[in-house]
Amino acid sequence: MTKWLSAEQQSHWRAYLEATTLLHERLSRELQDAHGITIGDYEILVRLSEAEERRLRMSQLAEHTLVSRSRLSHQIDRLEQVGLVRREACSQDRRGQNAILTDTGWELLVTAAPTHVGGVREHLVDQLSASDFAALGRICAAIAEHLDNSEPASPPTT
């Protein structure tokens, strides 16, 4: 039997959904308007910039960015067309591919980072007390750990 949310829990849940959706959309719009990239593109560039030799296997990049391999492939196609990343076969496994951040991609990331960090600070960090922001970090880490370590629920049978 399903245990329904109380009115207060429902209110908190909806506030969470609204805040995270609006924050994600705002940060993406700011990057799009200023630099022509989405927040998803930005995350790919960041992950590649942090990797050794600015390269990651596509499968690892998909895991790090929390997107499906097919969606990542489409994003990499777009980023490759504008010269921000390139692909090459993996030296260890010719079936796999690496995504590599180009110098142009690095330059765009360096230019876009202040926009993104400024948006995160303005729209999230500065809206909370230091203790609330720390609590948010602990809460989100606990949720992520739970979701990483649990199997998805089976769909209901009808």
Mean pLDDT (the chain, rounded): 93
> Which residue, 150, 158, 123, is CA-closest to 28?
123
Length of the chain: 158
Within a domain: residue 81? yes
Within a domain: residue 10? no
Query: What is the DSSP secondary structure assignment for residue 150, as one 8-state letter?
Result: S
Cα 69 to Cα 75: distance, rounded to the nearest angstrom: 10
Compute the CA torsion angle 54, 56, 58, 63 (nearest 10 deg). -110
Within a domain: residue 15? no
Per-residue pLDDT of the chain (158 residues; tens, 9 = 90+): 899 999 999 999 999 999 999 999 999 999 999 999 999 999 999 999 999 999 999 999 999 999 999 999 999 999 999 999 999 998 877 678 999 999 999 999 999 999 999 999 999 999 999 999 999 999 999 999 999 887 765 555 54
Helix (H), strand (E), coil (C) string for 66-115: CCCHHHHHHHHHHHHHCCCEEEEECCCCCCCEEEEECHHHHHHHHHHHHH
β-bridge mates for residue 87, sequence order: 99
Token code pair at residue 68: 């499906």
Is residue 50 within 8 Å of 42, Cβ to Cβ? no
pLDDT of the residue at 71: 93
- How many domains, in total, are found in the chain? 1
Cα 42 to Cα 47: distance, rounded to the nearest angstrom: 9
Cα 124 to Cα 23: distance, rounded to the nearest angstrom: 8
Q: What is the pLDDT of residues 71-96, one digit of tens each?
A: 999 999 999 999 999 999 988 776 78
Within a domain: residue 79? yes
**Domain residues for 104?**
28-112
Residue 96: CB atoms within 10 A of its CB come to 13
Instruction: Give phi and psi for 141, each to the nearest 5.
Output: -65, -40
Cα 121 to Cα 19: distance, rounded to the nearest angstrom: 15
Is residue 75 within 8 Å of 86, Cβ to Cβ? no
pLDDT of the residue at 132: 98
Within a domain: residue 98? yes
pLDDT of the residue at 158: 45
Within a domain: residue 80? yes
Within a domain: residue 44? yes
pLDDT of the residue at 91: 80
Q: What CATH number is given to the structural domain containing 81?
A: 1.10.10.10
